[in-house]
């Protein structure tokens, strides 16, 4: 596995270069693996990873329901998401589990010489995407659920062959790459829509709905608006994920499963039979309660608004006799990257925060604790900079790890910080023996 990471480290210095020419050349040299399976292709600003994980769980559960739990499954399910919280393997799921190091190493050995032949043309994300395509082609998956890395139109995943496309909530993020208005960003996300391939859009503002519907009509893609197909009442009572935003994501998933029911070439697969999978879905670091801590990867204003709404709902549930005071005085442990709208995120979260601790995230773009503390103090959150997450956790007091403990501390601002926190709190769900670096969005200066 370390050979794989070392080879990818060389790719990271080339940053992000939107466009499909390089990934197309890479795939062609590898035998076009992206054309050897059907994909469910997902784009969006927030929620796309959660939707991917829910669809994965539901489609696998549908196999169990149809086959009665016995025998070999007719369809294997893959899932490719980004970024990872802790280990690179998290990005590559097959049949409900992260792929092992040996498999990634073996596939990387096929990708590496082609990457070298492309010189500076291949990026970190393109390399990983090529590995994912090889993995799912080799496994002969029935579906590979693919999450875009950034945008949609020029994202490396957009060379796939989709049976269904899904677009989740769209908001302002990565504006330097995607546009300065929500409509411009919607145009980029709409770039995954393909002729004759159904598109399911999650709840969005009317202006976004108009952009997506217009693009679907232009290319001849059947268009479905998730809130018109599914309701909150259809979400199982034992739904495994917390947070009001995840209920919104679940509605998108249920709508997508209803569309899957009508897709051709899936003998015996009834998507809606897999709804029980929502009770089993695992998507860590998104409004995840760990004793008295809430760990969330919110790192942009749309995600912060969703987090604030969930905090308000949590407070209301805890104190229904006082609905006028929905704020909970959380202690905030915060770490963020310098290319994010930190000021706006803090402004959104401030009503729920009494004090804070600033830490550096496990990312080269991370703000120094002292710089971040200055921003937090300016936002009206009394903050102390900490040398490490461990120091901040120690300062928040004893860890109440028992189930049902009252949430007191919020850890957020970065998915990298969320991963580090879950490991520190013994709540990371998969085997962990190292922290792997993630891709940069921009080349180093």
Tell me: do 246 and 319 sit in the same domain: no
Of 17, 7, 9, nearest in space to 126 by CA: 17
| 224, 119: one domain | yes
DSSP type of residue 169: B
Task: Quote the pLDDT of residue 208.
Answer: 95
314 and 368 housed in the same domain: yes
Q: In terms of domains, do 294 and 275 share one?
A: no
The per-residue pLDDT for 137 is 98
- Based on the fold, state whether residues 273 and 177 are members of the same structural domain: yes
Q: Check pLDDT > 50 for residue 109.
A: yes
Give the pLDDT of residue 75.
Answer: 80
> What is the reported pLDDT for 324?
38
> Is residue 438, in this structure, part of any structural domain at all?
no
So what's the pLDDT on residue 219?
97
Predicted pLDDT of residue 165: 97
Has residue 322 got a pLDDT over 50? no
The dihedral built from the CA positions of residue 231, 79, 442 and 154, taken in this order, carries a sign that is negative
| pLDDT, average across residues 302-314 | 89
Q: What is the pLDDT of residues 136-183, one digit of tens each?
A: 999 999 899 999 998 899 999 999 999 999 999 998 655 455 656 889
Cα(270)–Cα(262) distance, integer angstroms: 9
Which residue, of 224, 252, 279, is where some domain finishes? 279
Say yes or no to pLDDT of 4 above 70.
no
Within 10 A of 50 (CB to CB), how many other CB atoms are there? 27
**H or E element, residue 411:** strand 409-412
Interior angle at CA 400, CA 398 and CA 405, nearest 5: 145
Residue 436 domain flag: no
Query: Can you give the pLDDT at residue 204?
Result: 95
At residue 444, the pLDDT reads 33
Looking at the fold, whether 270 and 337 belong to one and the same domain comes out as no
Helices (H), 293-441: 301-318, 342-349, 369-378, 389-395, 415-424
Other CB atoms closer than 10 Å to residue 257's CB: what's the count?
A: 26
Taking residues 315-338, report their average pLDDT. 65
- Please give the pLDDT value at position 202: 97
Compute the average pLDDT of residues 285-298: 93
Mean pLDDT of 363-389: 93
pLDDT for 19 equals 76
pLDDT digits (tens, 9 = 90+) for 24-34: 999 999 999 99
* In the predicted structure, residue 226 carries a pLDDT above the cut 90: yes
Higher pLDDT, 1 or 63: 63
More confident site: 72 or 121: 121
Task: Indicate whether 381 and 255 sit together in one domain.
Answer: no
- Looking at per-residue pLDDT, the higher value among 182 and 119 belongs to 182
Place of tokens 């709902």: 313
CATH number at residue 163: 3.40.1190.10
Cβ pair 292, 397 in contact under 8 A: no
Mean pLDDT of 54-67: 84
Q: What is the pTM for the complete model shown?
A: 0.90
pLDDT exceeds 50 at position 61: yes
Inform me whether the pLDDT recorded for 127 exceeds 70: yes
The two three-digit tokens of residue 209, written as one number = 């709905």
pLDDT of amino acid 323: 39
Report the share of the chain in percent with pLDDT over 90. Answer: 63
Token pair 């922290």 is found at: 435
Q: Do residues 232 and 254 touch, judged by C-beta distance below 8 A?
A: no
| DSSP string for 187-199 | HHHGGG--TT--E
Domain holding 307, by residue range, is 288-424
Rounded Cα distance between 182 and 435, Å, is 34
In terms of DSSP H, where are the helices of 238-388?
Answer: 244-260, 301-318, 342-349, 369-378
Q: What is the pLDDT of residue 424?
A: 94
* CA atoms of 133 and 92, how far apart (whole Å): 10
Please say whether the beta carbons of 256 and 47 come within 8 A: no
Indicate whether 442 belongs to any domain. Answer: no
Interval 392-431: pLDDT, tens: 999 987 655 555 568 889 999 999 899 999 999 999 999 9
CATH code, 347: 3.90.190.20
Token representation of residue 363: 């990312």
Q: What is the pLDDT of residue 16?
A: 56
Residue 416 and residue 435: Cα distance in Å, rounded? 10
> Both 272 and 303 in a single domain?
no
The answer to the question of residue 431 being in a domain is no
Q: Is residue 445 included in any domain, yes or no?
A: no
Is 63 found in the same domain as 11? yes
Residue 292 domain-assigned (yes or no): yes
| Pair (246, 365) in one structural domain | no
For residue 381, what pLDDT is reported? 97
* Domain count within the chain: 2
pLDDT beyond 70 at 3: no
Say which residue the tokens 């004893």 belong to.
398
Average pLDDT, the chain: 86
User: Where is mean pLDDT largest: 103-117, 185-199, 386-400?
Assistant: 185-199
First to last CA, the chain: 28
Same domain, 243 and 331: no
444 in any annotated domain:
no
Instruction: Give the pLDDT confidence score for residue 264 in this predicted structure.
Output: 60
pLDDT at 37 > cutoff 90: yes
Q: Which pLDDT score, from 0 to 100, does residue 260 have?
A: 86
For range 177-198, the mean pLDDT: 87
Distance CA 24, CA 159 (A): 7
Q: Which residue has the higher pLDDT, 371 or 119?
A: 371
Nearest-angstrom CA–CA distance, 108 and 101: 10
Let me know if residue 437 belongs to a domain: no
Of the chain, the percentage scoring pLDDT greater than 70 comes to 82
Contact (CB, 8 A) for 369 and 358: yes
Mean pLDDT across 120-138: 90
Question: What is the SS3 assignment for 166?
Answer: strand
Query: How far apart, in whole angstroms, are the C-alpha atoms of residue 60 and residue 75?
Result: 8
* Dist. CA 296–CA 391, nearest whole Å: 19
Q: Are residues 177 and 252 in the same domain?
A: yes
């Amino acid at each position: 596995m370390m050979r794989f990471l070392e080879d990818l480290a060389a790719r990271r210095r080339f940053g992000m270069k939107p466009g499909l020419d390089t990934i197309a050349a890479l795939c062609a040299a590898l035998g076009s693996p992206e054309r050897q399976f059907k994909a469910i292709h997902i784009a969006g600003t927030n929620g796309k990873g959660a939707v991917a994980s829910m669809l994965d769980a539901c489609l696998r559960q549908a196999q169990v329901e149809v086959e009665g739990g016995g025998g070999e499954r007719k369809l294997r399910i893959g899932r490719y998401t980004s970024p990872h919280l802790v280990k690179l393997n998290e990005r590559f799921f097959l049949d409900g589990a992260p792929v092992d190091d040996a498999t990634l190493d073996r596939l990387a050995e096929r990708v590496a010489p082609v990457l070298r032949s492309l010189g500076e043309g291949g990026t970190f994300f393109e390399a990983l995407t090529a590995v994912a395509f090889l993995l799912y082609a080799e496994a002969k998956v029935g579906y590979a659920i693919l999450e875009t890395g950034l945008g949609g139109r020029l994202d490396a995943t957009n060379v796939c062959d989709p049976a269904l496309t899904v677009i989740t909530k769209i908001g302002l993020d990565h504006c330097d790459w995607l546009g300065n208005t929500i409509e411009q960003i919607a145009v980029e996300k709409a770039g995954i829509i393909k002729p004759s391939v159904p598109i399911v859009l999650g709840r969005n503002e009317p202006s976004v709905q108009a952009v997506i519907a217009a693009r679907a009509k232009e290319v001849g893609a059947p268009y479905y608006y998730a809130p018109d197909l599914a309701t909150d009442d259809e979400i199982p009572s034992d739904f495994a994920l917390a947070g009001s935003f995840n209920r919104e994501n679940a509605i998108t998933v249920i709508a997508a499963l209803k569309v899957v029911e009508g897709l051709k070439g899936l003998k015996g697969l009834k998507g809606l039979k897999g709804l029980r999978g929502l009770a089993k879905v695992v998507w860590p670091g998104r409004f995840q309660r760990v004793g008295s801590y809430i760990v969330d990867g919110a790192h942009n204003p749309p995600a912060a608004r969703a987090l604030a709404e969930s905090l308000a709902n949590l407070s209301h549930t805890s104190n229904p006799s006082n609905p006028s005071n929905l704020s909970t005085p959380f202690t905030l442990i915060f770490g963020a990257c310098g290319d994010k709208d930190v000021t706006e995120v803090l402004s959104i979260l401030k009503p729920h925060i009494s004090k804070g601790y600033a830490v550096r995230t496990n990312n080269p773009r991370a703000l120094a604790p002292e710089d971040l503390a200055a921003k937090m103090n300016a936002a009206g959150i009394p903050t102390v900079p900490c040398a490490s997450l461990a120091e901040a956790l120690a300062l928040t007091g004893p860890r109440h790890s028992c189930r049902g403990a009252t949430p007191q501390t919020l850890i957020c601002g970065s998915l990298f910080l969320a991963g580090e926190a879950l490991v520190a709190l013994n709540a990371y769900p998969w085997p962990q023996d190292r922290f792997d670096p993630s891709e940069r969005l921009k080349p180093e200066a």
